[in-house]
Amino acid sequence: MMEFSESEFLIETEVPEDELIISRTDLSGKITYANETFCEISGYSQSEIIGEPHSIVRHPDMPCATFEDLWSTIKSQKQWKGIVKNIRKDKGFYWVEALVSGVYKNGELVEYKSLRTPISYETKLKYQRLYDKMRNEKNERVRKVIYS
Ligand SMILES: Cc1cc2nc3c(=O)[nH]c(=O)nc-3n(C[C@H](O)[C@H](O)[C@H](O)COP(=O)(O)O)c2cc1C
């Protein structure tokens, strides 16, 4: 259970149109590389993020099913495309469309990579509603709002 106060969620970081947020992970999902844009948008430095599980940026609004789908897709060596809300180090958030796929060396799967681009306001609204509905249906209220 993650506990946050409501006010910590209010600040959105806009993802620039002309830059890609890139990261790579090992086969277990630990971050092996993050580009400068990833660091700027997430608020972490490279040394803070390398070696950490990618769930370090997991926002509590994201339903588990989305990541189950991501992992089953990439483990079957297919490319996964989806809309993700991530949490920053300072508890702000940013929305992206992510394209996650394998990195191959001599035909062997060695890592995974993700390329992320911005989405429209309408898409953010649509997915916020969808993910709220998905979490509610599965009683996944991982987000606990504390009024203070
Ligand atoms: C290459 C790659 C990139 C990922 N990017 C993200 C991401 O940006 N945000 C996120 O919450 N999870 C991302 N994940 C999924 C996480 O590994 C993790 O499954 C997810 O955060 C849910 O956490 P959990 O598996 O501990 O429940 C990524 C996974 C891979 C392989």
Which backbone phi and psi does 67 adopt, to 5 degrees?
-80, -30
Q: Is 34 in the pocket of ligand 1 (CB under 6 A)?
A: no
pLDDT at position 10 is 76
Ligand 1 and 94: CB distance under 6 A: no
Contact call for residues 50 and 31 (beta carbons, < 8 A)? yes
Query: Tell me, what's the pLDDT at 1?
Result: 53
Minimal CA–CA distance to 32: which of 49, 9, 10, 19?
Answer: 49
**CA-to-CA dists, residue 76 to 29, 47, 109, angstroms:** 15, 31, 11
61 or 142, greater pLDDT: 61
Residue 4's pLDDT is what? 62
Length of the chain: 148
In 3D, which of 39, 98, 87, 83 has the Cα closest to residue 59?
A: 87
Whether pLDDT at 7 is above 70: no
Amino acid at 68: E
The average confidence (pLDDT) of the chain is 91
Range 11-30 average pLDDT: 94
Averaged pLDDT for residues 18-36: 97
Q: Where are the alpha helices (DSSP H) in the chain?
A: 36-42, 46-49, 64-75, 121-137
15 touches ligand 1 (CB under 6 Å): no
Confidence class for position 40, pLDDT limits 50, 70, 90: very high
Q: What is the CA radius of gyration of the chain?
A: 15
For residue 148, what pLDDT is reported? 54
Domains and CATH numbers, the chain: 19-139 (3.30.450.20)
Average pLDDT over residues 121-145: 85
Residue 131 reports pLDDT greater than 80 = yes
* Nearest protein CA to atom 3 of ligand 1, as residue: 114
| DSSP letter string, 41-52 | HH---HHHHTTS
pLDDT (average), residues 34-55: 97
